[in-house]
Structure 1
Amino acid sequence: MRVCLIAEGSYPYVAGGVSSWIHTLMTSMPDTEFVIFAIAAQRKQQGKFKYTLPPNLVRVHEVFLDAHLEEQAKWGKRYNLSPSQKKDLYALVSGDENVNWENLFQLIRSKQFQNVGEFLSSKDYYDIIQYLAKTKYSQVPYTELFWTVSSMILPLFLIIRGEIPEADLYHAVSTGYAGVVGALAKVVHKKPLLLTEHGIYSREREEEIIKANWVKGYFKDLWINYFYTLSSSIYSLSDEVITLFGRNKEIEIELGCDEQKIRIIPNGIEVSDYANVVRTLPEDRIRIGAIVRVVPIKDIKMMIQMFALVEQKLPTAELFIMGPAEEDSEYYDECIQLAEALGIRNIRFTGMVQIKDYLGNLDILLLSSISEGQPLAILEGFACAKPFVCTNVGGCRELIEGRDDLYGPAGFVVPVMQHYEEMASYVLKLCEDHQLRKVMGQNGFNRVSHLYKRSAFIDGYKELYAKLGGAEKWQVSGSNYASSIVKKG
Structure 2
Amino acid sequence: MRIGLLTEGGYPYASGDAGLWCDRLVRGLEQHEFDIYALSRSRRQEDDGWVALPPQVGRVRTAPLWTAGDDGVAHGRRTRRRFTEYYGELLGAVCAGTGADAPSEGGPTDLPDRFGSALYGLAELARENGGLVGTLRSDAAVRALERACRAPGAPRAAHEARVPDLLTVAAHLERALRPLSLDWYDDDGLGAADLCHAAAGGSAALPGLLARHFFGVPLVVTEYGVQLRSHYLALGADTAAPAVRALLGAFHGRLAAEVYRRAEILTPGNAHARRWQERCGADRARIRTVYPGMDATRFTEVGEGPDRADPDTLVWVGRVEPAKDLISLLHAFAEVRKEQPEARLRIVGAPCGPEGTAYLGHCRALAAQLFPDEAEGVHAVGDNPVSFEEIGGPEAPTLPEAYASGAVVVLSSVVEGFPIGLIEAMFCGRATVSTDVGAVVEVIGGTGLVVPPRNPRALAEACVALLRDPERRERLGAAARARALELFTVEQNIAAFHGIYLEVVSHCPVRRVVLDEAGDPLPFATPAESHVPGRWTGPTARVLPRVVPGWATGAPVRATPPAAAEGA
TM-score after normalising by structure 2: 0.70
Does the 8 Å contact 2:11/2:17 carry over to 1? no
- Secondary structure of the structure 1 residue equivalent to 2:171: helix
- 1: CA distance, partners of 2:70 / 2:477: 53
Aligned twin of 2:356: 332
Letter in 1 for 2:451: V
- 2: CA distance, partners of 1:295 / 1:23: 27
- 2: CA distance, partners of 1:415 / 1:15: 33
Write the deviation string for residues 397-440 of structure 1: whole angstroms up to 9, x where unpaired. Answer: 1222x2xxxxxx22222344x34443344234333433332222
The Cα shift of 1:219 comes to 2.7
Going from structure 1 to structure 2, the CA distance change for 1:414 and 1:15 (only over 3 Å counts) comes to farther
Which of 210, 223, 246 is the aligned partner of 1:184? 210
Going from structure 1 to structure 2, the CA distance change for 1:347 and 1:18 (only over 3 Å counts) comes to farther
Deviates more, 1:74-83 or 1:448-457: 74-83
Deviates more, 1:146-155 or 1:89-98: 89-98
Which of 181, 188, 193 is the aligned partner of 1:161? 181
Aligned twin of 1:413: 450
Does the 8 Å contact 1:76/1:121 carry over to 2? no
The Cα shift of 1:185 comes to 2.5
Write the deviation string for residues 245-300 of structure 1: whole angstroms up to 9, x where unpaired. Answer: 4454343222101122112233445655532225796627514032x34456xx12
Write the deviation string for residues 62-92 of structure 1: whole angstroms up to 9, x where unpaired. Answer: 3332214767899998922375652123324
- 1: CA distance, partners of 2:479 / 2:251: 42
Does the 8 Å contact 1:286/1:362 carry over to 2? yes
Higher relative contact order (CA 8 A, sep 6+): 1
Aligned twin of 1:39: 39
Aligned twin of 1:144: 164
Going from structure 1 to structure 2, the CA distance change for 1:261 and 1:387 (only over 3 Å counts) comes to same
The Cα shift of 1:104 comes to 1.7
Which of 133, 138, 148 is the aligned partner of 1:131? 148
- Secondary structure of the structure 1 residue equivalent to 2:236: helix
Which of 438, 456, 460 is the aligned partner of 2:496? 460
The Cα shift of 1:342 comes to 0.8
The Cα shift of 1:459 comes to 1.5
2:289 is aligned with 1:264: yes
Letter in 2 for 1:53: L
Please show how residues 461-480 of structure 1 align to structure 2 within 5 Å: 461-469=497-505, 471=531
The Cα shift of 1:393 comes to 3.2
Going from structure 1 to structure 2, the CA distance change for 1:150 and 1:58 (only over 3 Å counts) comes to same
Which of 330, 333, 339 is the aligned partner of 1:307? 330
Which of 92, 105, 119 is the aligned partner of 1:104? 119
Does the 8 Å contact 1:176/1:231 carry over to 2? yes
- Secondary structure of the structure 1 residue equivalent to 2:281: coil
Unaligned runs of 5+ in 2: 101-110, 369-377, 379-385, 506-527, 532-543, 549-568
Going from structure 1 to structure 2, the CA distance change for 1:34 and 1:306 (only over 3 Å counts) comes to same
Write the deviation string for residues 178-231 of structure 1: whole angstroms up to 9, x where unpaired. Answer: 1222212322342111012223321233233236x4323443233322222221
Going from structure 1 to structure 2, the CA distance change for 1:163 and 1:249 (only over 3 Å counts) comes to same
Does the 8 Å contact 1:285/1:317 carry over to 2? yes
Please show how residues 81-96 of structure 1 align to structure 2 within 5 Å: 81=82, 83=85, 86-92=88-94, 95=99
Aligned twin of 1:487: none
Write the deviation string for residues 356-379 of structure 1: whole angstroms up to 9, x where unpaired. Answer: 343322333233445545434333
Aligned twin of 1:61: 61
- Secondary structure of the structure 2 residue equivalent to 1:447: helix
- Secondary structure of the structure 1 residue equivalent to 2:81: coil
The Cα shift of 1:316 comes to 5.2
Please show how residues 265-280 of structure 1 align to structure 2 within 5 Å: 265-269=290-294, 271=296, 274-277=299-302, 278=305
Going from structure 1 to structure 2, the CA distance change for 1:34 and 1:357 (only over 3 Å counts) comes to farther
2:472 is aligned with 1:436: yes
Identity between Structure 1 and Structure 2 (%):
20
- Secondary structure of the structure 2 residue equivalent to 1:210: coil
TM-score after normalising by structure 1: 0.80
- Secondary structure of the structure 2 residue equivalent to 1:260: helix
- Secondary structure of the structure 2 residue equivalent to 1:191: coil
Unaligned runs of 5+ in 1: 403-408, 476-489
- Secondary structure of the structure 1 residue equivalent to 2:177: helix
Aligned twin of 2:509: none
Aligned twin of 2:541: none
Aligned twin of 1:406: none
The Cα shift of 1:322 comes to 3.6
Letter in 2 for 1:182: G
Letter in 2 for 1:44: R
Which of 221, 225, 228 is the aligned partner of 1:202? 228
